[in-house]
Structures are given as C-alpha cells and as structure tokens.
A = this chain, B = another copy of it.
C-alpha cells in the first residue's frame, strides 16, 4: 500500500544505542503518524552522534517528506539534536528569548532552581518554529531540510506525546497532503497460538492480499489488523474473520484484556476481588491501572504463603495438606474466600508454579490453577504453560485469568 507521505523516525541517545534505555517513542509516533496517513518506512536509533544525526537529516531531506527526531534536547552536553538539525538545515543556533523566559518561569513555578545547563535548551535553529513544552523544560521545533519537514521532540515519553498531540499533529494535518483513504479493522484474540492462526488464515495473509492482514503476538494475545482502501471489501472480510475466529476474539477495540474486563465490570456494576499467589499482585495491579476502578474493585489478596491463604482467605489447611497449594480445590477455596471476605460478586483466584524451581513430574513449572466465583458459583480450570521463564508464566497466568473472568461474565 503506498502512502503519499513517507517518514523516518529517529530516536537519539547513547543510552538507547547501547541498549541501556528502551525506545518506546518511535512505536508510539508510528501509530500516531499512521492515523494521519503517514507511512513510517524506517525507525532508527543512533547515539549522541551529532555528525550522524546531521547526515540522517540531510538524507531524509533528499528522500522523504517527514523526519521526526526524539531525544537530544536535554540540558546536558551530550544533547546534540539542536546543533545537528541546524547544521543539516544550513543555519546557525540562536537563543530564543521567549523560550528562555518560559523556561525560567516553568522551573520557578515548581520550586526548581534554574541551572545554567537549562539555558542550552532555549537555543533553536534560526528560522525554526518553536513547539512549546507544556510538561517539561525542553521546547521542540519544526524546520525544513530540503524536501522534508523535520520535527524535534523531547525524549521523555510524556513530554514527547503531549507535544506531538498538542503542537505537532495539528501542524502536520495542515502541512501534509490529504491522506489516502484507508479503512482498518482490528481484532484481538486470546487462546490461539500464532501458527495455528496462520494456518486458519490460508491466503488471507498473502503479501498482496486485499484486505491486507497482519498479526502480532504478545503474551498470548494476538492482535490482527485488516486494511483496505475499499470499505465494502473490508467490511465483508471483517465479517468472515469474525465468523472464523469468533471463538477467540475478545475485543475489536483493545488488546488489553484488563481494560476489556474492567469496562465490562464497570458497565454492569459487578464488583470484583482478586486472590493471587504466584502472580503476586500482577492481576490486581493490571485492574487498578484504570481511573474509576474503585467503583468495582476494593480488595486484592496476595496470599503468597500458605499461611496467608489460610488466614486471609480461610483456605482449609486440610485442603492444602491433601492437594497442595497448586490445585483446583485450593484455587476454588481461594476464590470463595476472597468473595466472602470482600463481598464482591466476582472473585478471581490464581495459584501456580512460576519457577524456575518448585516443579515436580506431576506438577511441573508452568502449571497454574484458576478459579472464579460468580454470585457464589465456582468454576475452576488449569493450564500447563509451555512458555519458559518466571516472568512469562506470570504474564500468561494473568492474561488467562482475565480471559476466564470475561468469559464467565459473558456466559
């Protein structure tokens, strides 16, 4: 699919190219730019390399329509973006009096001292348009290098996102050609391995298929995207997709199973409590990300020790003795106890072996038992995760618990 506007996204910083920090800005920008009809062709990470960034900007000016650079606008000597882009545009850096005044006020209002290092942040390439920073010290800017618009945004994600949304996006919408129509449909699935999905897709995933179908897998969740310039074609394929994959599709809006469950609970006013052993609070933490969740969530139990299962959740020691902590009877007792203790209509319990130690031939690492209690009625099930590693097992356990709870509510 060709787009009128091609972009590169560059993340600048030694810590990034050495792997000490992770670039999340480029992925966020690629999604946002996609909404504007911009096709990101490349993402690049370079170090605090003024000459390298200058060369990339010059190349972008020759080959593309848009270059977005994040990072390198900080107050320290290794922040090279201002100088590199000014050189690429063939202009010098000049101190912007307005930027300097804003910077002083911003720091003063927060009771933070104005350090001379901050002064560097008020220099901009001559002729660049300043992009104000509402939540940090570094202003961004916009300028032309040959055939490309070049935007410089701060590195800290919150500052970058705010500046993009408030300042850069509106300017791009005005400056870019109208976007070619491109319809999208997204589906989020859980419980189906990627290679089985691929088999069931047949030729829907061919490189030249229309609609084009792409899929990615993360923590057991498959995110599928159908895209076409033809809305009717897309709608027809989307219907076929729903029919073929309905058993596993949990949302067409969000790949976050915690979000989907939270929305369902809030919509229906169903209170929920969590009782976790091996996941150690991961499930509760996921649910409490969402503002307003206190309307349905008030009690989370992390009964990591058997004594805690007994004391907090009323699990009968005889059950622990006979079946062990990782068993369906104990999962059910945890769910029942959490529901009774909290008064919640729905409770979700997880008990398993996250490893790497603790496994036996009968109960290997990766065995996790789940129980839900809804209006007093218990259901339980187990999984034997073949993914490797404590982190992944905990993650898959939390995802599975969210999936089971949602299915329970939709039954």
Contacts and interface: CB of A to CB of B under 8 A. Distances in A.
A142 to B, nearest CB: 21
Assembly of this chain: how many copies? Answer: 2
A23 interface: yes
A17 B30 contact: yes
A297 B307 CA distance: 11
Interface string A18-52: 11111110111111101000001111111110001
Interface stretch (A85-93, A241-249, A389-397): A389-397
Given A16-B27, A291-B356, A158 B389 contact: yes
Nearest to A14: B214
Contact of A137 (B74, B195, B279, B312): B195
Interface in A217-275: 217-218, 223, 225, 274
A24 B22 contact: yes
A158 B22 contact: no
Contact of A299 (B23, B194, B304): B304
Interface residues on A, range: 35 or more
A285 interface: yes
Contacts of A276: 281
B20 A40 contact: no
Interface string A90-116: 000000000000000000001011011
A387 B288 CA distance: 19
Contacts of A294: 304-305
A125 B377 CA distance: 57
B13 A216 contact: yes
Contact of A388 (B14, B158, B278, B389): B158
Nearest to A292: B357
A274 B291 contact: no
B304 A298 contact: yes
Contacts of A205: 76-78
A225 B19 CA distance: 12
Contact of A76 (B34, B43, B198): B198
A346 interface: no
A208 to B, nearest CB: 9
Contacts of A29: 19
A342 interface: yes
Contact of A48 (B31, B45, B118, B207): B207
A193 to B, nearest CB: 7
Given A216-B13, A289-B390, A304 B308 contact: no
Nearest to A209: B77
A360 interface: no
Given A77-B205, A281-B283, A308-B298, A19 B44 contact: no
27 contacts: A16-B43, A17-B30, A18-B40, A19-B26, A19-B34, A19-B40, A42-B52, A48-B207, A77-B205, A115-B196, A118-B195, A276-B281, A280-B281, A280-B289, A280-B300, A281-B283, A281-B302, A284-B304, A288-B304, A289-B391, A292-B357, A293-B304, A298-B307, A299-B303, A300-B302, A300-B304, A302-B302
- Nearest first, the 3 closest Cβ-Cβ pairs linking A and B are A298-B305, A300-B302, A280-B288
Given A26-B45, A78-B214, A117-B195, 9 more contacts: A17-B40, A17-B42, A20-B31, A112-B193, A113-B196, A117-B198, A156-B217, A291-B355, A300-B302
Interface of A: 13-24, 26-32, 34, 40-48, 52, 74-78, 110, 112-113, 115-118, 135, 137, 156, 158, 193-196, 198-199, 201, 205-207, 214-218, 223, 225, 274, 276, 278-285, 287-289, 291-294, 297-305, 307-308, 311-312, 341-342, 354-357, 386-392, 394
